[in-house]
Structure 1
């Protein structure tokens, strides 16, 4: 695969942004560390439109459920709102940016995860399946939808970090500090089946999971929203050698996940993430 690495690049929640910390029984009473030490890389993969109960423990998703056994499963994780686009924007910038639908295009100049990383002399990259070229600004192409790609909407994010999945480096040491991977509509459960998405993950993500175990790196798998229910209850998983496996019951949403990444790299707090508690209890 082509290696495109860019360095120095830099809503109203359904559930409350204040987390209630709860540890697995095996580690109850321990003092949680505020963040893991020296995480080399974080990869965030976003799936589509399925609820917690449609994924966790289901035979159609054997690979995802194998990751559950390896990592931290958040049993009370929620999307911010419906439909898709506001959730991606919230996870990336701490705000839905007043977007309430999947319309395209939008343009913002507010701070975001990429600019925060850039300001800290770290790096960011977004990899979208079926996006035809680096810097593409169109609303769709094959199974790609701009509504699932929040960074393209920000004028302060360099075009070079907006990459097709074919740009993902095969040498994971060359990944940006924080990366998003966005499958196409068939492979992210939006239009395809759970089984199809699960097989795609095994093929495309398991090599990174294996590599991450030896390189102190983290995988986050989450969903934008559930199947349009009022609860908006989604699965969220953290997998990596710094993670204590278990099921964690504190209430989290996309703002808590963003705040956790921000604190991991000593970044500023974007929008609603400033009000959200970082996730602390999963680290070894």
Structure 2
């Protein structure tokens, strides 16, 4: 351990499971990242694990999209958002465009849901430990590493990002308060005001991203979104993650701690407006903005079932993350859609793989037998009738 790391760790006071408020924001050097015992065999860390090419007519019915922007908010259940006077912008989007009214997270807590969106599995991750953690890690940001079924948090399996690269398509993650482009920080700033937290950055869990030579061009600050939109050089797939005071997660030091939904609604509205006012939104190419949440972590909102589409309360990859809202805003798609079909983030991944012309489905995203379906109604184009 370096002198710098020793000093930082000495100065930190960190309780188990609360690394997002820790004062160390630098990751240690990555240790051996070979797969660990406890990773479920249904989604191993092997680079070519469980890829399905079973394309259905519903998959073929998804139109081609040039741009998909995914905005992920935090920890609020469906009933806390839809119909709430505290979220007027989000409810207007849901009413005007498309609402998935029966959408679920996969697991608790946050991190594994972000991983599931990109890899089609949580790969055995059941905590918010840092992306470099592995079994028996002694790092302060790996507080659960002593557990016997602990999974390697660096994933070598194929992800959506690898699929995009193979297809010649582009991706980028926009993170508010990221300390620097390509940063591998765990939290930033230090202390209890950690506005950026890597547990909400599922990109970093994948080794191909960690090792990417162009990482500084792929993991960037939220300010880059405005620049990219103005230039018209936006990626085919992007995730947009606001800071913990703006994404409805909250921190003890957030000035809006008692108004998290109101603040999140306003901030999300600004991002959506920014995209919709850009030139790409008025082009003939199809573009979509997907607004989703990671999970519902409010015990008062928890009702059965907690998941869908392969949901198994005793399983390891989809034991349920609660009922959450997901809204699909399209520039040329149908309007006023409420789709009650059961969906989860695996469904969203499958739909993204269809919309971007990939047509191969990672892990649980390929589980048709478990009810994973493409979100056809929400991404469909209006039918033009001939006179």
TM-score (norm 1): 0.85
Unaligned 5+ runs, structure 2: 1-39, 43-56, 133-153, 190-194, 251-256, 307-321, 382-387
Shift of 1:241: 2.5
Q: Contact (CA 8 Å) 2:59, 2:354: kept in 1 or not?
A: no
Greater than 6 Å deviation, 4+ residue runs: none
Aligned mates of 1:94, 1:70 — CA distance in 2: 29
The superposition leaves residues 71-129 of structure 1 with CA deviations (integer Å, 9 ceiling, x where unpaired) of: 11011000001100110000011110211000113322211111100000000101111
Q: CA RMSD in A?
A: 1.9
Contact persistence 2:229–2:275 (CA under 8 A): no
Q: Which has the larger radius of gyration?
A: 2
Per the alignment, residue 164 of structure 1 pairs with: 221
CA–CA distance in structure 2, aligned partners of residues 255 and 265 of structure 1: 15
Q: CA deviation at 1:164?
A: 1.6
- Contact 1:172–1:208 under 8 Å retained in 2: no
Match in the other structure for 1:202: 269
Structure 1 position 171, deviation (Å): 1.9
Moved more, 203-212 or 68-77: 203-212
Q: Which ranges of structure 1 fall in alignment gaps of 5 or more residues? A: 1-10, 13-30
Summarize the Cα distance change of 1:222–1:172 in structure 2 as closer, same or farther, 3 Å threshold.
farther
**C-alpha deviation, 1:148, in angstroms:** 0.4
Deviation at 1:36? 4.2
| Pairing of 1:265-276 with structure 2 (within 5 A) | 265-267=356-358, 268-275=360-367, 276=372
Alpha-carbon distance in structure 1 between the residues aligned to 2:289 and 2:363:
24
Q: 121, 126, 136: which one pairs with 2:168?
A: 121
1:82 paired residue number: 108
Q: SS of the counterpart of 1:281?
A: helix
C-alpha displacement at 1:251, in angstroms? 0.1
The alignment status of 1:173 with 2:245, answered yes or no, reads no
Map 1:88-107 → 2, pairs under 5 A: 88-106=114-132, 107=154
User: Which 10-residue stretch deviates more, 88-97 or 210-219?
Assistant: 210-219
Q: Distance in 1 between matches of 2:130 and 2:67?
A: 30
Q: How does 1:188-199 map to 2 (within 5 A)?
A: 188-191=247-250, 192=257, 193-199=260-266
